[in-house]
Amino acid sequence: MPRYWLVWLGLSVMKGMAALPFHWQLRVGRLIGRWAGKIMRRRRRIAAINLSLCFPELSPAQRADLLEEHFAALGIGLFETAMAWWAPDQQLYGLARVEGIEHLEQAMARGKGVILLTGHFTSLELGARFITWHQSFHAMYRSHKNQLYETVMRREREHRSRLAPLPHEDLRGLLRAFKRGRAVWYAPDQNHGIRNSVFVPFFGVMTCTITATSRLAALSGAAVVPYFPRRLAGTAGYEVTVLPALEHFPSDDLAADTQRINQLLEDYIRQAPEQYLWVHRRFKTQPPGSPNPYRS
């Protein structure tokens, strides 16, 4: 339909981008990201507010530099998504080092399923692609406003992970997957309102955080195995770190479990802060009486 023509064009361009040499992807991605950062004023403002809240110890000049690097990383992220969906394995071999995959294998051997926990990094899709080399999984997702984009995203994720993506509201489907001993890919670090959430610290800011990780682990008995992707300096490629399954999780304290996940994410975000998705309004839901930081 005509209303999807621009989306088709954009997806076609992305598919072509996946074939470029890696060093060109980095160079062009940076240019696109920096250009986008100048015209996407609303998203730039959101990212700047987030960085000021999370990194008060940095000087204004340091935060300004980090903001520029973030938009460069977003531009590279377009190429990373294109590679994740359309690049052949032969093109990607040698680009990534996956460390700690034995932790995932040990958790899968329990037979109760695994929650593959990660965060919204710019290399989110590509990091997941690297995991599929070792383990198939269901990807948990929220519906996208653009039906065409969602259709393509679901198709490519299923093609690479070899298991159908699961909508986040399909609790029965999630529990069935865990009962069959499967892994489910999940990133719980976005703001979706106060329902099923608690306020716990994230970078020292009381943050409305979804409690689903703890609740799903309690309902299913699935192990929680965190992993984090990171783009290395220059053309060195990527490192994916898989951690041991969380011990004594879940506990009987939902807020403590949720804070534990936030702290884990924060520790890895600090290793490459420009590669985290700062353009999301992470702090829009505030405790009663606290102002919304994104309002003028």
Give per-residue pLDDT as tens, 212-255. 999 999 999 999 999 999 999 999 999 999 999 999 999 999 99
What size, in residues, is the chain? 296
pLDDT of res. 189? 95
Domain-embedded: residue 258: yes
pLDDT of res. 142? 76
Q: Do residues 26 and 76 touch, judged by C-beta distance below 8 A?
A: yes
Q: What is the pLDDT of residues 154-194, one digit of tens each?
A: 888 888 888 888 887 888 999 999 999 999 999 999 998 89
Domain-embedded: residue 292: no
Domain-embedded: residue 286: no
Out of 5-14, 77-86, 236-245, which region has the weakest mean confidence (pLDDT)?
Answer: 5-14
Domain-embedded: residue 34: yes
User: Total structural domains in the chain?
Assistant: 1
Mean pLDDT value across residues 101-108: 98
pLDDT of res. 102? 98
Does residue 50 have a pLDDT over 80?
A: yes
Phi-psi region for residue 231, left (φ > 0), alpha (ψ -120 to 50) or beta?
beta
Domain-embedded: residue 295: no
Domain-embedded: residue 288: no
pLDDT of res. 151? 84
Q: What is the pTM of this model?
A: 0.93
Domain-embedded: residue 43: yes
Share of the chain above pLDDT 70, in %: 100
Domain-embedded: residue 145: yes
Mean pLDDT of the chain: 94
Structural domain for 218, as ranges: 2-275
Q: Using 50, 70 and 90 to split pLDDT, how confident is the model at 118? A: very high
Does residue 144 have a pLDDT over 80?
A: no
> Residue for token digits 């670090």?
189
SS (H, E, C) 163-214: CCCEECCCHHHHHHHHHCCCEEEECCCCCCCCCCEEEEEECCEEEEEECHHH
User: Residue 198 pairs with which residues in a beta bridge?
Assistant: 209
Mean pLDDT value across residues 44-68: 98
